[in-house]
C-alpha cells in the first residue's frame, strides 16, 4: 500500500446512504431481507442513518424496468417508487437528514422539475438535493413524450440548460411586493419546439436552493459536475489510488471552471462490511458476495453478453467456448455498456478466467468488483479517516449490504470509532443539507451577490 500524505489532517468523514432498490449490490433474496418498496423499509433505513448523523439519504432512479432478451429481468429487485414522492414522505418522519432525489434531465421538463424539487426543499426545511443524471440508453427514451434519444454530448448540453433554467426559476421567486420576474428560455437550448417564459411558483427554502449532486463519470460528466454541482457521486470508492486520481482530475476541472477546488465535494458509492475480527469480516464479505451474485444471476449476466439463454450452463464451469451470437450489447437489456462489442468483452473475460482459473460465477463476482471496506469497526474507521484526510474523498455514499438492517453495524459500531478519533460529528450542527455537507451559498446566488458571471455552461 502506498503511503499518501494526510493533506487534510483534521477533515471529518461524512456519510450518505444509497438505498439502491435494484441490482445485485444488496442481498434481496435472503430471508432476512425486507421489502425494497414498502415504506417501512425506507423509513427504517432513513431513521438509522439519521441516528448515525448521516448527511443524506439518497435514492437513484430507473425510468424503465430492466429486461433480459425481451423478458422482465427478475433476478434482482424490479421497480422503484419515484424518488421525490418517496422523499416527501420520508421528510415527515425525519428532522435533520438530507434527502437526495436522482432526477433525469433528458426527459423531464425544467419548470416541473424545479417546482417539485423546490417543494421538497421547502417542505423538508431545506434538506433536499437533486442528483442530476442524463441516463445512458435509448431504450428508456421510448417511454417518454419526447421519444427518441439525444447523443452523449447533447444530453449534457440539455442537462446544463435544464439545470440553469431550474436555478433561474429558484432565484427569480419574488420577495413580497416585488415585480414578477419571468424566466425566459429559448426552445433551442432545451431542444424543444417552442421558447418558454416561466413564472416561479415556489418560495425558497432555508438553504436557498436544493443542493446539486451529479452522477456521470465521462470527461463531459466530470466537466458538468465541475461547472455546476455541489457534490459529485462517483463510483471510485474502493481503491485509494484510483480515488486520489479521480479527485485530482475533478479538482483540476473545478479550478478550470473558476471555482475554489474544494467547492465540489466528492462522495463515492461504497459498501462497508464489519466483523469482530479481520477473518470474520473477510468471511462475511465472501458470503455477502456469493448471496448477491447467485448462480442464476451469474448466468444471466454472461448470457446478456453472449446474447442467448445460458441457463443450462454450469455456473461453476467455464465460460461458453463459442463466441457471442450478437455483435453488440443491446440497450433493451438495460445495460450501462449498451453498444459495447460483445466479442471484445468475451475475449477479455476469457483471458481473465484462464489466467486466474475462474468459473462463470467467480468471474462475475470478480467483475462486480467494488469490494468497499472490509474489516473490524476499528480498522474500517481508520481506513475511512485516511481516505478523507488524504483528500481522496469528502464522504461516502454507503449501499447497505442488506435492506433494511445493513446500516445498523455501521451506525452502532463504525460511527462511534470515528467519533473517538475526532473524525465524525457528535451532533448535527446545522439544520440544512447545505450545512451538513459544508457547502457555500448556491453558485448562482454567490455570483449574483458578487455581481460576477456564474460559470459558463
Ligand X SMILES: Cc1cc2nc3c(=O)[nH]c(=O)nc-3n(C[C@H](O)[C@H](O)[C@H](O)COP(=O)(O)O)c2cc1C
- Could you tell me how many residues of this chain bind ligand X (CB under 6 A)? 18
Pairing of strands 71-72, 231-234: unpaired
| Closer residue to ligand X (CB): 156 or 424 | 156
Which of 133, 161, 211, 231 is close enough to bind ligand X by CB under 6 A?
133
| Closer residue to ligand X (CB): 57 or 233 | 233
Cell of 66: 430492466
Q: Is the peptide bond before 404 cis (omega within 30 degrees of 0)?
A: yes
| Closer residue to ligand X (CB): 202 or 304 | 304
Stretch that binds ligand X, among 24-32, 128-136, 180-188, 301-309 (CB under 6 A): 128-136
Main-chain phi, psi angles of 333, to 5 degrees: -90, 0
Which of 43, 82, 109, 217 is close enough to bind ligand X by CB under 6 A?
217
Query: What is the sign, positive or negative, of the torsion defined by CA atoms of 340, 341, 344, 346?
Result: positive
| Closer residue to ligand X (CB): 137 or 165 | 137
In angstroms, give the least distance from the CB of 370 to ligand X.
Answer: 10
134 binds ligand X (CB under 6 A): yes
237 binds ligand X (CB under 6 A): no
CA dihedral (16, 21, 27, 28) in degrees, to 10, reads 150
36 binds ligand X (CB under 6 A): no
> In this structure, are residues 203 and 236 in contact, taking their beta carbons and an 8 Å threshold?
no
Residues 136-175 that bind ligand X (CB under 6 A): 136
Which of 269, 315, 320, 375 is close enough to bind ligand X by CB under 6 A?
269
22 binds ligand X (CB under 6 A): no
In angstroms, give the least distance from the CB of 195 to ligand X.
Answer: 27
**Distance in angstroms (rounded) separating the CA atoms of residues 35 and 33:** 7
> In this structure, are residues 184 and 169 in contact, taking their beta carbons and an 8 Å threshold?
no
Stretch that binds ligand X, among 72-80, 214-222, 303-311, 434-442 (CB under 6 A): 214-222
Residues in the chain: 457
Got the DSSP string for 187-256?
HHHHT-SS-EEE---S--BTTBS-EEEE---SHHHHHHHHHH-SEEEES--S-HHHHHHHHHHHHHHHHH
| Closer residue to ligand X (CB): 62 or 303 | 62
In angstroms, give the least distance from the CB of 375 to ligand X.
Answer: 24
> In this structure, are residues 365 and 289 in contact, taking their beta carbons and an 8 Å threshold?
yes
Q: What count of other Cβ atoms lies within 10 Å of the Cβ of residue 275? A: 18
Which of 43, 61, 328, 412 is close enough to bind ligand X by CB under 6 A?
61
In angstroms, give the least distance from the CB of 107 to ligand X.
Answer: 10
Q: What count of other Cβ atoms lies within 10 Å of the Cβ of residue 153? A: 10
Which of 86, 102, 362, 390 is close enough to bind ligand X by CB under 6 A?
102
3-state DSSP assignment of residue 362: helix
Which of 15, 233, 246, 401 is close enough to bind ligand X by CB under 6 A?
233
Stretch that binds ligand X, among 217-225, 365-373, 375-383, 424-432 (CB under 6 A): 217-225
Residue 156 annotated in ligand binding: yes
Stretch that binds ligand X, among 6-14, 84-92, 218-226, 314-322 (CB under 6 A): 218-226
Radius of gyration of the chain measured on its C-alpha atoms: 22
Cell of 139: 431504450
Using alpha carbons, select from 120, 149, 320 the residue that is nearest to residue 207: 120
Stretch that binds ligand X, among 133-141, 239-247, 320-328, 428-436 (CB under 6 A): 133-141
Which of 78, 172, 235, 352 is close enough to bind ligand X by CB under 6 A?
235
104 binds ligand X (CB under 6 A): yes
372 binds ligand X (CB under 6 A): no
135 binds ligand X (CB under 6 A): yes
As beta bridge partners, residue 196 has 185
Helices vs strands, H then E, count in the chain: 17, 14
Residue 342 annotated in ligand binding: no
E-strand stretches of 318-369: none
367 to each of 56, 214, 352, 361, 440, how far by Cα in Å?
28, 24, 10, 10, 38
In angstroms, give the least distance from the CB of 410 to ligand X.
Answer: 19
**Distance in angstroms (rounded) separating the CA atoms of residues 450 and 111:** 26
Binding site for ligand X (CB under 6 A): 60-61, 102, 104, 133-136, 215-218, 220-221, 233-235, 269
Binding-site annotation: residue ranges for FMN = 102, 152, 156, 218
Amino acid at each position: 500500500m502506498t503511503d499518501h500524505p494526510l493533506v487534510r489532517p483534521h477533515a471529518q468523514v461524512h456519510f450518505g446512504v444509497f438505498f439502491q432498490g435494484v441490482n445485485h449490490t444488496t442481498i434481496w433474496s435472503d430471508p432476512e431481507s425486507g421489502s425494497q418498496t414498502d415504506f417501512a423499509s425506507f423509513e427504517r433505513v432513513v431513521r438509522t442513518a439519521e441516528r448515525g448523523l448521516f448527511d443524506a439519504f439518497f435514492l437513484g432512479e430507473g425510468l424503465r424496468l430492466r429486461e433480459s432478451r425481451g423478458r422482465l429481468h427478475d433476478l434482482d429487485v424490479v421497480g422503484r417508487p419515484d424518488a421525490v414522492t418517496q422523499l416527501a414522505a420520508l421528510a415527515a418522519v425525519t428532522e435533520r437528514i438530507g434527502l437526495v432525489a436522482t432526477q433525469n434531465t433528458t426527459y423531464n421538463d425544467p419548470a416541473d422539475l424545479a417546482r417539485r424539487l423546490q417543494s421538497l426543499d421547502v417542505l423538508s426545511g431545506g434538506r433536499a438535493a437533486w442528483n442530476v443524471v442524463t441516463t445512458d440508453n435509448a431504450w428508456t427514451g421510448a417511454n417518454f413524450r419526447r421519444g427518441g434519444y439525444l447523443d452523449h454530448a447533447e444530453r449534457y448540453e440539455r442537462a446544463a440548460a435544464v439545470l440553469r433554467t431550474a436555478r433561474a426559476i429558484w432565484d427569480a421567486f419574488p420577495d413580497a411586493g416585488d415585480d414578477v420576474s419571468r424566466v425566459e428560455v429559448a426552445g433551442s437550448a432545451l431542444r424543444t419546439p417552442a421558447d418558454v417564459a416561466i413564472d416561479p411558483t415556489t418560495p425558497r427554502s432555508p438553504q436557498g436552493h436544493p443542493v446539486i449532486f451529479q452522477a456521470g463519470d465521462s470527461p463531459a460528466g466530470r466537466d458538468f459536475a465541475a461547472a455546476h454541482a455541489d457534490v459529485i457521486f462517483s463510483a471510485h470508492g474502493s481503491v485509494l489510488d484510483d480515488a486520489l486520481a479521480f479527485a485530482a482530475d475533478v479538482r483540476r476541472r473545478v479550478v478550470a471552471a473558476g471555482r475554489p477546488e474544494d467547492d465540489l465535494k466528492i462522495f463515492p458509492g461504497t459498501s462497508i462490511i464489519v466483523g469482530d475480527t479481520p477473518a470474520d469480516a473477510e468471511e462475511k464479505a465472501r458470503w455477502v458476495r456469493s448471496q448477491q451474485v447467485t448462480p442464476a444471476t451469474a448466468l444471466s449476466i454472461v448470457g446478456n453478453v453472449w446474447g442467448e439463454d445460458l441457463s443450462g450452463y454450469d455456473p461453476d464451469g467455464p465460460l461458453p467456448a463459442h463466441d457471442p451470437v450478437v455483435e453488440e450489447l443491446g440497450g433493451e437489456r438495460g445495460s450501462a455498456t449498451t453498444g459495447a462489442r460483445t466479442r471484445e468483452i468475451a475475449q477479455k473475460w476469457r483471458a481473465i478466467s484462464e489466467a486466474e482459473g475462474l468459473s462463470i460465477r467467480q468471474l462475475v463476482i470478480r467483475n462486480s468488483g467494488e469490494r468497499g471496506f472490509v474489516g473490524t469497526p476499528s480498522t474500517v474507521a481508520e481506513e475511512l479517516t485516511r481516505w478523507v484526510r488524504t483528500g481522496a474523498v469528502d464522504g461516502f455514499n454507503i449501499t447497505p449490504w442488506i435492506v433494511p438492517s445493513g446500516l445498523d453495524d455501521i451506525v452502532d459500531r463504525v460511527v462511534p470509532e470515528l467519533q473517538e478519533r475526532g473524525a465524525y460529528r457528535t451532533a448535527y450542527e446545522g439544520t440544512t443539507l447545505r450545512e451538513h455537507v459544508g457547502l457555500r451559498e448556491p453558485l448562482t446566488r454567490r455570483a449574483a451577490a458578487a455581481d460576477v458571471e456564474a460559470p459558463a455552461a
